[in-house]
Each structure stands twice: as C-alpha cells, then as structure tokens.
Structure 1
Amino acid sequence: MNINWKTFLLGQLATVEDEKITFVGATNTGSKRIYPLPHLAVLSVTGKDAAKLLQGQVTCNVNDISEANSSLAAMCNPKGRAIATFLLAKKADTFLLVLPTELLETVKKRLQMYVLRSDVKITDSSDDLCLLGLFEQEQPVQPNTSEIQQNLISVNLPVSTRRRLSIMNVDQAMQFWTEQIDHQGFRKAGSDEWRYLDIVSGMPWLTTATSEEFIPQMLNLDKLGGISFNKGCYTGQEIVARTHYLGKTKREMLLAECQSSLVPEPNSTVIDKDGIGQETIGKVLLAQQDDQGCKLLVILQTTESACDNLRLQGDMQTQIKLIPFAHD
C-alpha cells in the first residue's frame, strides 16, 4: 500500500493491519458506503502487442474490452486450472487487471514468460494506483461495464448492480474520498465488509491456497460472462472448451453458512458426514465472518448440491448449510 495513502487513512481513524482496514465507529449500514480495498491490487499491461498477449492467456475475449466494457476473467495453466481470477478493464491503451494482492506477482511472472520480443510492458501499479469500493443502494449500475470520468476509472462488478470499483492515483483517491464523505453522503466502511459482500454475491476470487485448483467453470466464470467460447486459443483453452461442450463440469461454486467462531481457511476440506467414510466432497474457496456467523464460498461436487449434512474436516460439530446467493 502506498505510504501516503496509508497515512491519509490513518488520519481518517483507520486501523491498518496487513490487507485489512477498519474504522473506529464505522457501521455496516447506510445506503451509500465507501471502502478502501488493500487486499486488491492493479497490474498494468501496455504496449502495441498488449491485447494480443492477453488474448492468448485469459479466458475472456480481450477484443471486447474497452473503456465502456470490462469483464471477469481467469488466467489458466496448461491443464486448464485457474491461476488467478481478475477484473479486466481498459484505459486508453492500457489494460488494467484488478486481482488479489497476494497473486499479483504470480500473474505478473506468468505473463512475463510469454512476452518474448513482443512490445509489451507489465507493471505492478499497486503503489501508484488505489482501489476504492463504492456501494449505492439507490443507484443501480449495469454489471460488466465501466466508465472513465475526470481520469477516474469505475468498474461495475459482474455479480452486483449496487457496487463498483474505482481506480485512481493516490492524490485523486484522497480528494475523491474526502468529497464522497463530506459532500456526497457516503459512510466509511471496512475492507472485511467488502470481502463479505463479494462472497455472498458469488465473486470467485482465488488465493495462494486455491490457485491452480479449479477450472474456470467450477468458479462459475461461464455464468458470470468470464469465458468466451468463440475466441481463439489461449493457455488451458482445450480443457475449458472440452468441459463446456461435453457438459461435464463435476464441481460448482455454491454459497454456504456456518455458525463457527473460526473462519475456515481457503482450500479447507468439506466432507459429507453421512457419506461412506465421511468422504471429501469439496473445498472452501473463501470465507468471511459476519454478525450471524460465517459465510463461505464452497466448491462442491455437483451431485452433492442438495446435501444437508456438510461439515469441515476436523470440525464435525459445525454444520455447513447451503444458501442462495444474495446478489446486491
């Protein structure tokens, strides 16, 4: 995190701890809320061959990305397993990948492998660009769109009609934050609430623990517009396409909840307590505590989506209950 941005947030009564920011006296209520997002970062890809490079490495159709259209996407390994998921946006001739901070360096190195003699520059912009999340109950937006106003980039999430990400430099972020709080009626909110909203609405972020574990369809990317089946080849495309055309996705992402004081770690094992030998039937993708317990994104075998006796391995007392997604 940029030191000037961190200092500014501390002056706003923030507590900054690694990739988590909380505010003294903040409540998760109000029809307009603004969030700092230190757990997300921006990777910039520029150069005359940038689109060609990305088209050969990501699941969405890069030719459809413009200043008005963004997309969820994944970058896969040759076996079709998603290394990372990200939001792909564009400003002028620069592509911007918004992704978890912990996977930025992995994605950068992987893309760099394919640059060779191409005219492409890949830059970690996490110290130059800030990410802010905005929630507006009364201002619905069109998912998978974006816009640029006064040099600020707004990206509307594929899973929400009420939330958007804004990308800007540090000076702009401080001015924008002050304007939204002092004059536009926004309330400060912590980054964990944004993570919670991502989970309950089905935003399939990966972590170091879940990278290269799942094909994109298991993460619902096909349902969220994050896979093009009409574009040319890209790394992992053969597996992704075969799964699609044969209709053989064996696992899917679902929302669940449990009454646990401990937040399950990504890639924790989910078992069927009633199954033979209490067999493994899935994994935890993400989890976040809330006032009523814990919400989880889980990747389960499709045959187990009606199972009503799920447990975490090592915690047989806590039941995991599947619930519908809550698209905000």
Structure 2
Amino acid sequence: MANQRWIEFINQQPLTATADESQTLLTPLLSQRLIGLEGPDSISYLQGQLTADLAKLSSEQSLLAANCTPKGMVISVLRLIQLEPQSLLLRLSSAIEEPALANLKKFSVFSKLSWNDVADDWCGLGLCGDAAESLLQQAGFNAPQALNHQSRNDGIVLIKVGPQRFELWCPADQAEALWLQLAEGSQAAPESCWQAAEIEAGLVQLDADSIDSYIPQMLNLQAVDAVSFDKGCYTGQEVVARLQFRGKLKKLLFGARTDASRVETGTALFNSQGRNVGKVLHCAELERGTLLQAVISKKGADEGDLRLGSVDGEAVKLLSLPYEIEPELFERPER
C-alpha cells in the first residue's frame, strides 16, 4: 500500500484527463511500490537471483529484471533503482508484492543485506506526452535522454521509461508540492492512462494469478533488455537460456484493444474455431473500450479473429509490437 496521506491527496485531485496523444498527462502510480535493499552483498545477491546483469546497474542506469523459479517461471518483474553503491530500490506491482518478496528473500539470510519497507517514504508519479521533457526541464530536472537512464534532483528519482515518458519517485514530504508543480503544465489523469501506455510499450504487468506461469521470453522480457544471456548463472537460468538458444517459443505477450467496456484479468481468448489461444494478464479501461495485455499462442495471433471469453465474445484487435522478437525463436523444429 502506498503512503496513506499521498492516497488521500490524490483522491482529492481531478483525475479527469483521458489517454490522448495531444495531451501531456500526469498520473499517480498507486499500484506500484518500492522495496528498499541495503548492504554490501545487495548487488551480488541479486545478480544470482535476477535475469538482468546487475553489472550494468548504476546511479545513472536503472534496469528491468525478472525473478524466476528454478524451472524458469517468472515470479516477479522489477525495476531496479540504485541510490548509492550499497543502497537499492526495487519497484514492483503491489499486486504481487507478497509472493515476489518471499521468492526474492528465500536465500538472502546467508548474505549481508537488509530488506526495508519504504512504502511510506516514497510516492510515485508518471508523466507522459509531447511536452513531458520540457515540463520537467522547466521544473528544474535534468531529464535523462536514453531509455532506462535515471537522474536525481533534490532526492527525487527521475527515470526515462519510453519516448516522452518518465517515472518519478519522490520522497513523501515533497510529493504533493511536486504534483501541484507538474500539474500546472499537464493534465491530471487516472493511473489507467499510465497502465495503457505501459501496455502499448509492451511492458508486462503481472498480477497474482499470472505468476509462476510463464518463462521470461513468453513475456517478451528479452526484447526490453530485462534478460542477460552472458552474465552467468542465476535462478532459472538454464531453462531461460535453453529456450533462447535451442527451444521454440510458442506463445508471447501482446497488447490488444477491444470495444468491451470492462475486461477481467484471467479472461481467456478464443479463435474462430473455438480454441482457447490466450489469457488476459492486465487491462486498462479507456474512455471507449479497453486496452488489454495477454499472452497468446503465436499461431493464434497469426490467425487473428480473436474473441474475448468465448467464440461469440467481443472482438479483440492485436496491437503491433513496439519491438522486434527474434524470428528464429519461432522457427526452430520441435525437440
């Protein structure tokens, strides 16, 4: 749960803007939270637990990563933020916090580190739209120019997570003032607008029903630099590497749009022959219809004509992927 005072403040704001490319939108990130990790073994411990190469992590470079079971199944997807050499923040969805932390902490008793609940200390904001960078510069920020780069200004962490899209993590005592400052040059919007942008960017958003179900490549994590294939061993590495270099990928993550006004996570997707070819992981309600994120079989996606919930359900139109998936992952013969 986010800081209660912050929640009360946000509930008083007029979050009325909609996902419109012509607007610069300011959104709260109430469904996300930070976990603190400190100690001399923090980096080395996570290096053996996460799919990303933590040698690339720095105070200027954040990382996306997954934590897997020994069978290579994803338990959580995280964004890593380094504050100091031995002080990190892990950003993850509140919906998977309990199982995510349980899996991450499993072997940490043997390492010199401490896990800290910092939910009341930080508040998250999202800023996106054509004027996002200029608005940040006007507010005194040194906006990062490269994807996943980060900067700090007066204790506030700013991360570039997409073209004209920035994630801000602010000390709680500064959050209200920062919101009001940025709101002067933007439109306040509900978090669903940020979630819609995440779906369009092809960034997976897991809930508790979707963990321990997918190998990282099924969530397109290798396409967003969340998986390293040359860093050495980590939990689940053998399975992940085998699929990348010898296996055949049969399902992957897609964004999609439907005219249905409300979609439940876990809803099945069916093709025109009535076969179940996918499952909804996440959705964001729009002014008209819904954007959804689903893991779908490659064959089902190629055939098209997908329906929501049943063969007679609402039509689902897939979005183009914003990155390339290696074609050879789908072309290898069955083993």
Check whether TM > 0.5: yes
Offset at residue 11 of structure 1 (A)? 4.1
Shift of 1:4: 2.0
Q: SS of the residue aligned with 2:229?
A: coil
Alignment pair present for 1:90 and 2:92: no
Contact 2:18–2:287 under 8 Å retained in 1: no
Change (3 A) 1:257 1:172: same
Residues 159-217 of structure 1 deviation map (CA, whole Å, 9 limit, x = unaligned) = x21111111211111121122224xx122111111111111221101110111111111
How many Å apart are 1:315 and its aligned residue?
6.2
Unpaired runs of at least 5, structure 1: 14-22
1:293 aligns with 2:289: yes
Amino acid at match of 2:255: L
For the residues of structure 2 that align with 1:12 and 1:303, how far apart are their CA atoms? 45
> Partner of 1:282 in structure 2?
278
Shift of 1:220: 0.7
Alignment partner of 2:156 out of 152, 157, 180: 152
Q: Distance in 2 between matches of 1:9 and 1:289?
A: 19
Kept in 2: contact 1:132–1:165 (CA 8 A): yes
Please tell me the residue identity of whatever aligns with 1:123: N
Whichever residue aligns with residue 118 of structure 2, its letter is S
Q: Per the alignment, do residues 171 and 84 of structure 1 end up closer, same or farther by CA in structure 2, a change over 3 Å counting?
A: same
Q: TM-score, normalised by structure 1?
A: 0.88
**Residues in 2 aligned to 1:235 and 1:51: alpha-carbon distance in whole angstroms:** 15
- 1:1-328 superposed matches below 5 A: 1-13=2-14, 23=15, 25-29=16-20, 31-92=23-84, 93-138=86-131, 139=133, 141-157=145-161, 160-182=162-184, 185-263=185-263, 265-274=264-273, 278-314=274-310, 316-325=312-321
1:319 Cα deviation from its structure 2 partner: 1.6
Determine what percentage of the aligned residue pairs are the same residue.
29
Quick one: distance in 1 between partners of 2:236 and 2:150?
Answer: 27
- Give the whole-Å Cα distance in 2 for the aligned partners of 1:27 and 1:285: 22
Query: Cα RMSD between the aligned structures?
Result: 1.9
Moved over 4 A (4+): 27-30
1:247 is displaced (CA, Å) by 4.5
Inter-partner Cα distance in structure 1 for 2:255 and 2:128: 21
Task: Return the structure number with greater strand share.
Answer: 1
3-state SS of 1:282 partner: strand
Distance 1:63 1:170 in 2: 30
| Paired residue type of 1:283 | K
Under a length normalisation based on structure 2, what TM-score does the superposition of the two structures give?
0.86
The runs of 5 or more residues in structure 2 that have no matched partner are 134-143, 324-335
Q: Which structure has the highest helix share of the two?
A: 2
Partner Cα separation in structure 1 for residue 292 and residue 12 of structure 2: 33
